[in-house]
């Protein structure tokens, strides 16, 4: 071969736009590769792509579905982002999600507040309990890590199962709705507001006309009934802003990064590492717990089995793909939300998992572009005398 | 022609990195059975040239002959097959495995059963032959830096190296260890090995090398010259391109009040073995107390107990405040600054910027922070000022710490530690592994601290440095004070004896 690829270590600082560009590029390439695979097995990639698009971003209604799936991913992705910044491998977001859902349910099922209170009180109490439930489930592995140096990967993973079975006990035994593996449906006051709940007033608003109404109907937003996007997405966006500020600007965020980068230097600089491990695990757990609360209060409206199709684990991938950037977590979550929605619509449903896998693979391998410059050189140039 | 071929003959070597010409038509020859010193400042291209010889990099152009045969290395394996072994400056050892396991790592033996005891014996025999003592069953993390280096040397010898490249082997050693190492080098040469000795310590080069090649900014300034008639000053000029002053200016000064008082301190090291035994000393404001000790005699532990990184018994007071067995933040609050021994592993965060590294101990204090948030505009401004004041060479304050050279990283650490206006400065091996220019700069900074009235505890394995900078010298052996001397009356031989555990007075 007269030419070969040469890898050169990057000596200078990389341009700021490069990480984003490589991530975007890898997603595009992942779609192309999936298309080729689809073609090879006799599928029609372009038709599938069109269908995929229509099922996820094609209309406001489908986009709302996509966002519903993205909501828990944003919160769980942020949970993982915070922990991973400190190189704490919290694999337990799934369990923290379930515990958040369980704690939030107690508000309605015990009940902890009168259920005829205003929505804001009930939802507020549920959100608080969701945060607490996740934080408790993050506290245990955090404390064990800080005090006894127990590997958090193992403990958080194990606690996932405990959380799921703990939930099962309550929904099978204590709170079962007529023997089904679910609790009775919550009172309306415990439902996070959904867009569709405002369909009647909105319809009147559109019918009344005016510049805003005309604009909304011109972009296809003349009907909102059936749109299930709920208030949880606001939790996600607000949390992203807070997490971003915390990591980028706060003293605590600086401590998290310092401990993550070099714990010995952090100890030398006088930081309290033990306390920070526990705190970070609790905050990470709390965010995952809030995702659980949002899911039962915004979508299923009861506590039941399998409220998460593995959001806690997908959140790990989301955090990685977003390169631990809180705002990128939102974008990646929407992409993965779309993949979940598409997985329901496209047969076989494994197709969208295939795509997920290829995206992850591409993004991880694209890291090589950040560390090396790759250039095409004549292979004999090496031995040539200059 | 029956003339003995060169062990190594490198001709017109050009090594180009993106934007950098690391080696510019370099010629280098190594005769069989000689010690050839390769001298140059950090970044002069010594390590790069040797990495090519070891098969780690590929030259852009130029030829290499080993024992007269042209070679073309594609990987370190090829170089090892030709009998070239490299002892790296940064050790490549697995900390949790034993000495023997590390030496066998990557070899095809033992083939199936780990008959380690048998190999322990083989390695002991090899140690005997070259005078390199280290317990084969000890785990790497338990060893001192000097011992770890012996493992690296044994590794190359075990692989049958005939040509040894030693990348700044003395940078990490105590005087006695250096002498031992030089003995080992002589023994190896006598037994037919050839050695390339990379260094920037002039007195060692003059002591041990037969011939010398000097590099400056990628170019050869002296090619294979015999050491005869070359003085330290000549070498320094070849190396840095200007004259270097070897004596440091120290103004006489009367020390003030006692700042640090260590009394009857005892502590164990990482292996659980006593490292400090009833050690007491005092450091006054405006004086430098130098600690002279052979590596692994408790000096590292002494720095750690004072800065709160290691538990101990006894009493450590700073300005009368007890700080022993308190978290490191307690010592920091009492105005203790610390230049740690391990500047990359402890003193800095590699993937954080210069700015972030300079605020490590003050990110909660105005004007950098208010306890909750950090004002990065102020932090960057301050980092820029420090960068200028301390002459830190880097593209900008956003540069990652890991991209800095050793000297510049050390300047970042010193900038951070000095700018906190400390009462007491604990400096451990502040100039280790740095080039002449950086050493000069850092020693000047330490003396400036002394003049500013800071109490300085200087721990160094460079006896010359201790003698040049200290007002008083405490000699430690096996965790005990052997004696405290006034620096101007100190005698090197006397100190050497005390360092080996012989009480003189």
**Record: contact A382-B376, CB cut-off 8 A:** no
Using the predicted structure, report yes or no on whether residue A176 has a pLDDT greater than 60: yes
Q: What's the per-residue H, E or C state across chain A?
A: CCEEEEEEECCCCCCCCHHHHHHHHHHHHHHHHHHHHHHHCCCCHHHHHHHHHHHHCCCHHHHHHHHHHHHHHHHHHHHHHHHHHCCCCCCCHHHHHHHHHHHHHHHHHCCCCCCCCCHHHHHHHHHHHHHHHHHHHHHHHHHHHHHHCCCHHHHHHHHHHHHHHHHHHHHHHHCCECCECECCCCCHHHCCCEHHHHHHHHHHHHHHCCHHHHHHHHCCCCCCCCCCCECHHHHHHHHHHHHHHHHHHEHHHHHHHHHHHCHHHHHHCCCCHHHHHHHHHHHHHHHHHHHHHHHHHHHHCCCECCCCCCHHHHHHHHHHHCCCCHHHHHHHHHHHHHHHHHHHHCCCCHHHHHHHHHHHHHHHHHHHHHHEEEEEEEHHHHCCCC
User: Residue A316 — very low, low, confident or very high, per pLDDT cuts 50/70/90?
Assistant: very high
B272 contact partners, CB below 8 Å, separation of at least 6: none
DSSP string covering B262-311: EEEEEEE-TTSSEEEEEEEEEEETT-EEEEE--TTSSHHHHHHHHTTSS-
Chain A: residue whose CA lies nearest to B306 = A268
Instruction: Mark yes or no for CB contact B61/A385 under 8 Å.
Output: yes
- CB-nearest partner of B351 from A251, A261, A383: A261
The predicted-structure confidence for B118-147, as pLDDT tens digits, reads as follows 888 989 998 888 888 889 999 998 887 788
* Bridge partners for B428 per DSSP: B459
Residues A73-99 have pLDDT tens digits of 999 999 999 999 999 999 999 999 999
Shortest CA gap A23–chain B (Å): 20
Residues of A with CB under 8 A from a CB of B: 8, 11-13, 249-251, 254, 257-258, 261-262, 264-272, 373, 382-386
- Residue B82 DSSP SS3: coil
The answer to whether the Cβ–Cβ distance between A270 and B60 falls below 8 Å is: no
Q: Pairing mode, if any, of strands B288-292 and B472-477?
A: parallel
A187-196, pLDDT tens digit by residue? 999 999 999 9
- Residue A333's pLDDT is what? 96
Are B139 and B112 in contact by the 8 Å Cβ rule? The answer is: no
**B99 sits in which H/E element:** helix B99-104
Domain ranges across chain A: 1-43+347-386, 70-194+229-345, 196-226
Are A261 and B359 inside 8 Å of each other by CB? no
Q: How far apart, in Å, are the Cα atoms of A32 and each of A28, A367, B456?
A: 6, 19, 64
DSSP state of B44: S
What is the least distance, in Å, from the CA of B414 to any CA of chain A? Answer: 14
Give the pLDDT of residue B172. Answer: 66
DSSP B6: P
Mean pLDDT, chain A, rounded, equals 90
Considering only CA atoms, which of B36, A18, A2 is closest in space to residue A10? A18
pLDDT band at A9 (very low <50, low <70, confident <90, very high): confident
Residues of A in contact with B308 (CB under 8 A): 270
- CB-based contact B131:B79 (threshold 8 Å): no
pLDDT at residue A261, as a whole number: 96
The mean pLDDT of A325-349, rounded to a whole number, is 89
CA dist B156 and B145 (Å) reads 17
Residues of B in contact with A273 (CB under 8 A): none
Cα of B489 to nearest chain A Cα, Å? 36
CB < 8 Å to A13, chain B: 395, 398-400, 403
pLDDT band of A12, cuts 50, 70, 90: low
* Partner-chain residue, chosen from A258, A265, A271, that has the shortest CB–CB distance to B346: A265
Shortest distance between the Cα of A18 and any Cα of chain B, in A, equals: 16
Binned at pLDDT 50, 70 and 90, residue A177 comes out as confident
* Number of neighbours of residue A111 by Cβ within 10 angstroms: 16
Helices (H), B327-435: 328-333, 354-358, 376-389, 406-419
Please tell me the predicted confidence (pLDDT) of residue B1.
42
In this predicted structure, the answer to whether residue A386 has a pLDDT above a threshold of 50 is: no
The pLDDT profile of chain B, 505 residues, written as one tens digit per residue, is 456 889 999 999 998 876 678 888 999 999 999 999 998 776 678 888 998 999 888 888 999 999 999 998 888 888 989 999 998 877 889 999 999 999 988 787 777 777 888 888 989 998 888 888 889 999 998 887 788 888 999 999 998 899 999 988 876 676 677 888 888 899 899 988 999 998 877 778 888 899 999 888 888 988 888 888 787 777 777 776 665 555 667 788 888 999 999 999 999 988 777 899 999 999 999 999 999 987 778 999 999 999 999 999 999 999 999 999 999 999 999 999 999 999 999 999 999 999 999 999 999 988 899 989 999 999 999 999 999 999 888 888 998 998 888 888 999 999 999 999 999 999 999 988 777 778 888 899 999 999 999 999 999 877 888 988 999 999 998 899 999 999 888 887 788 778 777 766 5
Cβ neighbours of residue A376 under 8 Å, at least 6 residues apart? A3, A4, A5, A6
Read off the DSSP letter of residue B75: S
The answer to whether B395 contacts A12, with C-beta atoms less than 8 Å apart, is: yes
Please state the ipTM of this predicted complex.
0.85
Domains of chain B, each with CATH number or no CATH: 8-240 (3.40.50.300), 247-335+422-505 (3.40.50.300), 349-420 (no CATH)
Q: What is the mean pLDDT of residues A238-254?
A: 96
* Per-residue confidence band for A1, with pLDDT thresholds at 50, 70 and 90: low
Partner-chain residue, chosen from B12, B61, B328, that has the shortest CB–CB distance to A267: B328
Q: Count Cβ neighbours within 10 Å for each residue of A204-221 and write b for 16 or more, e otherwise.
A: eebeeeeeebeebeeeee
The tokens for B42 are: 């950090």
Report pLDDT digits (tens) over A21-68: 888 898 899 989 989 998 998 888 898 889 889 989 999 999 999 999
Question: Average pLDDT for residues A292-316, to the nearest whole number?
Answer: 93
| Secondary element (H or E) of residue B197 | strand B194-199
CA proximity to B436, closest of B215, B200, B234? B200
Classify residue A238 as left (phi > 0), alpha (psi -120 to 50) or beta: alpha
Task: Report which of B465, B505, B468 is spatially closest to residue B488, judged by C-alpha positions.
Answer: B468
Q: Residue A128's pLDDT band (boundaries 50, 70, 90)?
A: very high
CA pair distance B293, B299, nearest whole angstrom: 7
Of B17, B62, B352, the CB nearest to A261: B352
Q: Tell me if B156 sits within 8 A of B105, measured CB to CB.
A: no
Q: 3-state DSSP call for residue B244? A: coil
Among candidates B19, B342, B372 on the partner chain, residue whose Cβ is nearest the Cβ of A251: B372
CA distance A363 to chain B (A): 21
pLDDT tens across B436-481, in order? Answer: 778 888 899 999 999 999 999 999 877 888 988 999 999 998 899 9
Contact criterion met (CB below 8 Å) for B137 and B123: no
Confidence of residue A178 (pLDDT cuts 50, 70, 90): confident
Q: Residue B417: closest CA among chain A residues belongs to which residue?
A: A269
pTM, two decimals, is: 0.78
Q: What is the mean pLDDT of residues A284-298?
A: 97
Residue A267: list chain B partners with CB under 8 A. 309, 328
Residue B242: the pLDDT is 61
> Using a CB-CB distance cutoff of 8 angstroms, which residues of chain B are in contact with residue A242?
none
3-state secondary structure of B225: strand
Q: How far apart are CA B276 and CA B296, in angstroms?
A: 11
Chain A residues with CB-CB distance to B400 below 8 A? 13
């Amino acid at each position: 071969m007269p030419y070969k690829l040469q890898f050169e270590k990057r000596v200078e600082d990389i341009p700021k736009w490069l990480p984003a560009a490589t991530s975007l590029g890898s997603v595009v390439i992942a779609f192309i590769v999936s298309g080729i695979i689809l073609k090879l097995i006799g599928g029609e990639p372009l038709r599938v792509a069109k269908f995929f698009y229509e099922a996820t971003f094609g209309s406001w209604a489908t986009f709302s579905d996509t966002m519903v799936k993205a909501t828990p991913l944003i919160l769980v992705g942020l949970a993982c982002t915070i922990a991973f910044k400190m190189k704490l491998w919290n694999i337990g977001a799934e369990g923290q999600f379930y515990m958040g859902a369980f704690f939030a349910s107690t508000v309605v099922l015990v009940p902890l507040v009168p259920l005829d209170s205003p929505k804001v009180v009930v939802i507020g109490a549920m959100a608080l309990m969701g945060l607490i439930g996740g934080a408790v489930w993050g506290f245990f592995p955090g404390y064990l890590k800080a005090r006894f140096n127990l590997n958090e990967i193992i403990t958080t993973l194990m606690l996932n199962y405990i959380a799921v079975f703990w939930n099962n006990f309550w929904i099978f035994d204590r709170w079962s709705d007529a023997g089904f593996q679910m609790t009775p449906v919550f009172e309306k006051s415990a439902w996070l507001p959904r867009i569709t709940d405002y369909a009647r007033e909105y319809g009147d608003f559109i019918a009344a006309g005016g510049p805003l109404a005309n604009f909304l109907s011109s972009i296809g937003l003349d009907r909102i009934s059936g749109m299930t996007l709920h208030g949880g997405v606001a939790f996600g966006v607000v949390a992203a802003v807070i997490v971003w500020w915390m990591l980028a600007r706060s003293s605590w965020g600086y401590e998290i990064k310092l401990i993550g980068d070099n714990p010995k230097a952090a100890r030398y600089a006088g930081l309290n590492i033990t306390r920070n491990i526990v705190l970070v695990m609790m905050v990470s757990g709390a965010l995952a717990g809030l995702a659980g609360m949002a899911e039962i209060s915004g979508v299923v409206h009861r506590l039941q089995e399998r409220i998460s199709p593995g959001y806690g684990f997908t959140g790990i991938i989301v955090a990685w793909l977003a390169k631990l950037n809180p705002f990128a977590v939102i974008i990646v979550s929407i992409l993965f939300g779309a993949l979940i929605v598409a997985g329901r619509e496209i047969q076989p449903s494994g197709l969208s998992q295939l795509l997920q896998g290829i995206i992850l693979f591409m993004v991880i391998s694209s890291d090589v572009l950040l560390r090396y410059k790759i250039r095409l050189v004549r292979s004999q140039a090496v031995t040539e005398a200059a | 022609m029956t003339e003995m071929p060169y062990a190594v003959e490198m001709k017109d070597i050009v090594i180009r990195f993106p934007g950098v010409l690391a080696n510019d038509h370099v010629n280098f020859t190594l005769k069989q059975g000689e010690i050839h010193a390769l001298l140059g400042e950090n970044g002069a291209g010594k390590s790069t040239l040797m990495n090519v010889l070891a098969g780690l990099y590929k030259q852009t152009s130029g030829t290499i002959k080993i024992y007269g045969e042209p070679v073309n290395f594609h990987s370190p394996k090829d170089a090892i097959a030709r009998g070239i072994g490299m002892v790296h400056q940064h050790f490549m050892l697995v900390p949790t495995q034993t000495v023997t396991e590390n030496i066998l790592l990557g070899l095809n033996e033992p083939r199936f059963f780990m008959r380690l005891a048998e190999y322990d014996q083989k390695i002991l025999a090899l140690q005997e032959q070259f005078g390199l003592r280290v317990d084969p069953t000890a785990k790497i993390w338990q060893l001192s830096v000097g011992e770890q280096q012996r493992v690296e040397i044994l590794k190359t010898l075990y692989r049958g190296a005939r040509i040894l490249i030693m990348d700044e082997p003395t940078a990490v050693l105590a005087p006695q260890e250096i002498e031992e190492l030089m003995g080992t080098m002589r023994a190896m040469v006598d037994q037919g090995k050839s050695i390339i000795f990379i260094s920037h310590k002039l007195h060692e080069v003059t002591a041990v090398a037969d011939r010398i090649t000097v590099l400056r900014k990628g170019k050869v300034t002296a090619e294979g010259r015999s050491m005869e008639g070359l003085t330290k000053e000549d070498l320094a000029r070849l190396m840095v391109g200007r004259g270097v002053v070897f004596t440091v200016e120290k103004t006489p000064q009367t020390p003030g009040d006692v700042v640090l008082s260590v009394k009857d301190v005892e502590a164990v090291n990482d292996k659980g073995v006593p490292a400090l035994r009833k050690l007491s000393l005092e450091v006054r404001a405006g004086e430098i107390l130098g600690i002279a000790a052979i590596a692994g005699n408790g000096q590292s532990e002494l720095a750690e107990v004072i800065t709160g990184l290691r538990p101990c018994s006894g009493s450590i007071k700073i300005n009368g405040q007890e700080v022993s067995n308190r978290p490191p933040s307690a010592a920091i609050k009492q105005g203790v600054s610390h230049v740690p021994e391990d500047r990359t592993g402890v003193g800095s965060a590699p993937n954080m910027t210069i700015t972030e590294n300079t605020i490590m101990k003050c990110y909660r204090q105005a004007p950098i922070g208010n306890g909750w948030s950090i004002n990065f505009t102020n932090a960057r401004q301050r980092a820029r000022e420090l960068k200028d004041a301390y002459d830190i060479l880097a593209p900008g304050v956003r540069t990652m710490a890991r991209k800095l050279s050793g000297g510049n990283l050390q300047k970042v650490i010193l900038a951070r530690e000095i700018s906190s206006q400390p009462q007491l400065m604990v400096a451990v091996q502040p100039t280790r592994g740095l080039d002449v220019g950086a050493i000069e700069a850092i020693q000047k900074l330490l003396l400036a601290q002394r003049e500013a009235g800071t109490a300085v505890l200087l721990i160094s394995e460079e006896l010359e440095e201790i003698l040049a900078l200290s007002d008083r010298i405490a000699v430690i052996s096996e965790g005990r004070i052997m004696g405290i001397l006034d620096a101007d009356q100190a005698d090197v031989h006397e100190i050497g004896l005390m360092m080996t555990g012989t009480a003189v007075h």
